[in-house]
Amino acid sequence: MNLITKVLALVVFSLPLMVQATSISDKNNNIEAAIQHVMSTFQVPGVAVAIVKDNKVVMSKGFGVIEQGKSAKVTPDTLFGIASNTKAMTAALLASLVDEGKLTWRTKIIDIIPEFQMPDAYVTREFTLIDLLSHNSGLGLGAGDLMIWPQTTLTNADIIRGLKYLPQVTSFRSEFAYDNLMYVIAGEIVAKLTGMSWQEAIQTRIFTPLGMKNTRPTFSLIPTSNTNVARAHVPLDGKLNVVGGNFLEKFTSAGAVASSANDMTLWLKAQLNHGAYNHNSAQSAQLFSAEQSRAMWQARTLLPVAEAATKQDKTHFSAYGLGWFLKDYHGVKLVHHSGGILGMVSKVVLVPEENLAMVVLTNQQSGYAFNAIYHQILTEYLELPEKNWVTYYDQKQQNRQAKEQKRLAKAADLVDKNSRHSLTLKAYAQTYKDDWYGDIDISYRNNQLHLQFSNTPELKGNLEHYQHNTFIVRWLDRTLEADAFINFHLNEAGGIEYATMKAVSHATDFSFDFHDLKLKPKW
């Protein structure tokens, strides 16, 4: 073999297995193929994806169906619950009020909502707007979410009253713990300062100016004439179940918005243009200033970075800003957020340096699905080495499920099957009160205990004895996938002093914060 032949051979054998797509069309073809693979692998009936590059919509497309087993197709105008992707919109509303001089990012919450009270007096006094939006309150992950999820009868005023009773698990401003209630309160601040409800404010100050014609602040505000609305799906025992229908109505400013791929492109453009919109017309306008855009994209609360993330994604920092997660990824900064409700998840990603943004909307609750899609989009548009993201996330899902099954099996082996509850079943049947949530009723009928959260109609189920004075609540709605232990603590007289709860499975959504409850007999 001569020198030229050797060089040619080296070149051939050093080529990647897949040729990197160079044209927009080729990139999108690869993305669409990945989406189809995602839908079949993770049982996702419908997906809508939009991509903005250099101020142009290079993809806005629907895939699959609105509801499993029915013919209506997902289109770029199909409405999905975007859940916590609402948070960036609430932050933007507040940014516009900062621009108007109605408050600053360091305004104290008690100066606007005097009744605001955290468990600690110092924290109450020092709590600012930045703290409200950056998940550093000292409360635990999802603390108090049972006041808004599943759909409850509690009001925002009840939420504010309940805050001071939630357990503080870390010191103020020391650690990140995702908290929806703070964003609900952020919506109350918007209402106080604008003289209109958060729903009216976001409609008039964001959706209408941007031309997001189909987007609505909450599910209940979608016109009944609009049937192009995705249904949520939960996989259970290999079968997809249609669930919900009201998205996250009670989450309001923390996660209630319904939007579409087409409408979200207008939001993405405004973000990439630092609040500017109508920039193609003679005179552009601003939702918020470039200064506030930088403020929202500034790291406020640091998050840990796993060694695997540094090795695989070249990620060296991760943080939360104001309504956005932030991290570096293969040399560029990502501004991103996910949203999740029962049976529906979504993802928004901005890459400001590349003038690139995307939204992924799905009508099934698989985070692995949207992760595979948005990573495929980044791979194509950042021209990174090819990788089969569907296979990667499918393996992660299998590993996680196997690990959880092994943990549950190990726990089951440790159960004392010969143990008995200390009291008669009737003795456990009482009304219990938690200081931040309210009442929980346990009744005795037909030789069985039944539990009902008084403010949450969906949270009702039967108690099954586990061991000693611990029972498991099996919710009647099995799609909740949130069965919980309830452990009764006895006093020296042998009566019930209080009861505690926690989720049986580690895979239970963190918004079921049963572990924050301390239930005391009411009488």
Residue 445 CB contacts under 8 Å (≥ 6 apart), including other chains: none
How confident is the model at residue 19, as a pLDDT? 52
How many CB atoms sit inside 10 A of residue 54's CB? 9
Angle at 278 between CA 276 and CA 281, to 5 degrees: 130
The rounded radius of gyration (Å) of the Cα atoms in the chain is 25
Which stretch of DSSP H or E encloses residue 396?
A: helix 389-413
Q: Residue 248 carries which side chain, given as an amino acid letter?
A: L
Structure-token pair, residue 38: 């995602």
Q: Are strands 46-53 and 356-362 parallel, antiparallel or unpaired?
A: antiparallel
How confident is the model at residue 447, as a pLDDT? 95
How confident is the model at residue 281, as a pLDDT? 57
Are the beta carbons of 44 and 363 closer than 8 angstroms? Answer: yes
Q: Which residue has the tokens 């403020």?
A: 295
Angle at 358 between CA 355 and CA 359, to 5 degrees: 155
Closest CA to 474 of 448, 513, 500: 448
The CA distance from 172 to 178, in Å, is 14
For the purposes of burial, counting CB atoms within 10 Å of the CB of 411, is it exposed (0-12), middle (13-18) or buried (19 or more)? Answer: exposed
Are the beta carbons of 232 and 68 closer than 8 angstroms? Answer: no
Closest CA to 31 of 378, 319, 320, 421: 378
How confident is the model at residue 244, as a pLDDT? 81
For the purposes of burial, counting CB atoms within 10 Å of the CB of 474, is it exposed (0-12), middle (13-18) or buried (19 or more)? Answer: middle
Q: Number of C-alpha atoms within 13 angstroms, CB side, residue 273?
A: 22
How confident is the model at residue 282, as a pLDDT? 57
The b-or-e profile of 478-506 (16+ CB within 10 A means b, else e) is ebbbbbbbbebeeeeeeebebbbbebbee
Closest CA to 190 of 202, 178, 181, 179: 202
Q: Which residue has the tokens 């505000």?
A: 221
What are the angstrom distances between the C-alpha of 412 and each of 145, 406, 408, 416?
A: 29, 10, 6, 9
Are the beta carbons of 247 and 83 closer than 8 angstroms? Answer: yes
How confident is the model at residue 280, as a pLDDT? 57
Q: Number of C-alpha atoms within 13 angstroms, CB side, residue 292?
A: 26
The CA distance from 357 to 350, in Å, is 4
Closest CA to 351 of 326, 322, 372, 321: 326
The CA distance from 515 to 499, in Å, is 10
How confident is the model at residue 476, as a pLDDT? 97
> What is the pTM (predicted TM-score) of this model?
0.93
Q: Residue 343 carries which side chain, given as an amino acid letter?
A: G
Report residue 273 CA to chain centroid gap.
Answer: 25
The CA distance from 410 to 404, in Å, is 10
Per-residue pLDDT of the chain (523 residues; tens, 9 = 90+): 443 333 333 333 333 344 567 899 999 999 999 999 999 999 999 999 999 999 999 999 999 999 999 999 999 999 999 999 999 999 999 999 999 999 999 999 999 999 999 999 999 999 999 999 999 999 999 999 999 999 999 999 999 999 999 999 999 999 999 999 999 999 999 999 999 999 999 999 999 999 999 999 999 999 999 999 999 999 998 899 999 877 788 899 999 999 999 999 999 999 999 999 985 555 679 999 999 999 999 999 999 999 999 999 999 999 999 999 999 999 999 999 999 999 999 999 999 999 999 999 999 999 999 999 999 999 999 999 999 999 999 999 999 999 999 999 999 999 998 999 999 999 999 999 999 999 999 999 999 999 999 999 999 999 999 999 999 999 999 999 999 999 999 999 999 999 999 999 999 999 999 999 999 999 8
Are the beta carbons of 448 and 463 closer than 8 angstroms? Answer: yes
How confident is the model at residue 352, as a pLDDT? 98
Beta bridge partners of 460: 452
Domains belonging to the chain, first-starting first, are 25-137+172-277+285-387 (3.40.710.10), 425-521 (2.40.128.50)
- Looking at residue 20, the DSSP 8-state letter turns out to be P
